[in-house]
């Protein structure tokens, strides 16, 4: 998550990939002189962040919790398909959200946009801008937790499709927690943000705590709120395919429960759960071939039974003999692990010729951790 502060007279609507220029850090600003003065100076700035999506290299469902959610055992990696989020000052207590889809309309679409009317189930860019958006929920919870009544104008530039299993909404909400904390108080308190994140969704804590010093790669358990970074410096290349029909997470988990019950009735035994230990060893050893062989998603079968595109994309990937391919999250995005950047570009180019799916090339998204990026926050005008 790259974080930058800027003070435009009119909010800048074009954002290059932000880079730190070694200016004053957020930590220095927050701790220098009068804390209230530091908070005031930050609150007059606009803040922005670039946040990646995630893919699940491994996903096992261990069972249903008493709170209705599921216990998970998953290994996630952030990859380089990103959204941008900006927070601008307001004088009142309103929180407004503007969703900008201008780049989503062409990135990865191929000629899919020309056939949009044919895909009635395509909800990729139906992103709410009201209080139902996870960004707004995160900001409201943060205000309550901090005991403040400050407002903000938020601009969200979407490139990560919705109902894709890529965690785009969670990444955006995690960025909102970081930027709003700095914007409203001049301080970054990860404990507060992580507490809120754990109550908002299964993927948010990964984007706050899943950094290994080089990239975002972690094993997550519980609902996803318990995060254990995995040591790995390996650069991996992927092709991500998102069909014009998303998957509803709740429906997929209900389908899993149904298929598990059918299997139990047929065999009289419970489902054996797989462990990601082998995958984690290959990640630490930086063995791409081993990683490809260990890709796994427990939700594959229930998703495939609910969405015909799941098997269709799997069949297309099989033609290219990649190191491996797998469903991400509850779908409907499928990704394949490639040997090289050139192989990924070749596969993506050929898949785009079908003109019926979004196709992206992506790599391991390396950047400083969220906390290190916060320290490197540029407070210059």
**What is the Cα–Cα distance from 161 to 180, expressed in whole angstroms?**
24
Beta bridge partners, 153, equal 88, 96
| Active-site pick, 54, 137, 158, 255 | 54
- Whether residue 203 lies in the annotated active site: yes
Residue with tokens 């919870």: 141
Of 68, 169, 162, residue with least CA distance to 121: 162
Please report how the helices 35-43 and 168-185 are oriented relative to each other, as an axis angle in degrees rounded to 10.
Answer: 130
Using DSSP, state whether 70 is helix, strand or coil. strand
Contact (CB, 8 A) for 242 and 354: no
For 117-147, the three-class secondary structure string (H helix, E strand, C coil) is HHCCCCCCCCCCCCCCCHHHHHHHHHHHHHC
Q: What angle is formed at CA 369 by the lines to CA 61 and CA 155, rounded to 5 degrees?
A: 85
What is the phi/psi pair of residue 258, to 5°?
-65, -45
Of 55, 15, 75, 52, residue with least CA distance to 160: 52
Contact (CB, 8 A) for 329 and 58: no
| Active-site pick, 84, 203, 255, 356 | 203
Handedness of CA 360, 364, 366, 369 (dihedral sign): positive
CA torsion, points 147, 152, 155, 158, in degrees to nearest 10? 10
CA separation, residue 130 to residues 98, 117, 126, 137, 173 (Å): 9, 25, 12, 10, 14
* List of E strands, the chain: 2-6, 46-64, 70-88, 95-100, 152-157, 217-222, 226-229, 237-242, 296-297, 324-327, 334-338, 358-363
Structure tokens at 327: 């469903």
**What is the Cα–Cα distance from 69 to 186, expressed in whole angstroms?**
34
Contact (CB, 8 A) for 200 and 132: no
- Whether residue 318 lies in the annotated active site: no
Active-site residues: which are they? 54, 203
């Amino acid at each position: 998550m790259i974080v930058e502060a800027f003070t435009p007279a009119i909010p800048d609507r074009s954002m290059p990939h932000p880079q730190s220029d070694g200016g004053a850090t957020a930590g220095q600003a927050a701790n220098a002189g009068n804390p209230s003065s530091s908070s005031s100076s930050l609150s007059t700035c606009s803040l922005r962040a670039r946040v990646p999506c995630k893919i699940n290299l491994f996903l096992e469902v261990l069972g249903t919790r008493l709170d209705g959610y599921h216990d998970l055992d998953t290994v996630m990696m952030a990859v380089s398909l990103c959204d941008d989020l900006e927070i601008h000052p307001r004088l009142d207590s309103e929180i407004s959200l503007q969703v900008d889809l201008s780049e989503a309309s062409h990135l990865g679409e191929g000629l899919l946009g020309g056939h949009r009317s044919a895909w009635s189930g395509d909800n990729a860019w139906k992103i709410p801008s009201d209080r139902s958006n996870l960004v707004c929920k995160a900001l409201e919870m943060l205000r309550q937790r901090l005991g403040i009544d400050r407002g903000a104008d938020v601009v969200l530039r979407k490139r990560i499709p919705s109902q894709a299993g890529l965690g785009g909404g969670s990444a955006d909400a995690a960025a909102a927690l970081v930027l709003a904390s700095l914007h409203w108080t001049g301080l970054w308190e990860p404990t507060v943000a992580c507490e809120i994140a754990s109550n908002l969704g299964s993927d948010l804590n990964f984007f706050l705590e899943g950094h290994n010093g080089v990239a975002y790669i972690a094993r997550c358990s519980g609902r996803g709120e318990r995060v254990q970074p995995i040591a790995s410096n390996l650069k991996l290349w992927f092709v991500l395919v998102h069909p014009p029909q998303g998957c509803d997470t709740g429906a997929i988990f209900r389908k899993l429960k149904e298929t598990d019950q059918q299997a139990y009735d047929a065999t009289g035994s419970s489902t054996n759960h797989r462990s990601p230990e082998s995958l984690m060893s290959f990640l630490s050893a930086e063995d791409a071939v081993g990683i490809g062989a260990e890709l796994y998603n427990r939700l594959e079968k229930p998703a495939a039974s609910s969405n015909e595109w799941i098997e269709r994309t799997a069949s297309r990937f099989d033609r290219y003999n990649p190191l491996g391919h797998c469903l991400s999250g509850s779908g409907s995005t499928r990704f394949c692990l490639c040997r090289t950047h050139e192989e990924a570009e070749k596969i993506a180019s050929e898949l785009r010729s079908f003109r019926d799916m979004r196709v992206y090339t992506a790599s391991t998204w390396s950047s400083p951790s969220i906390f290190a990026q916060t320290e490197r926050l540029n407070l210059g005008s």
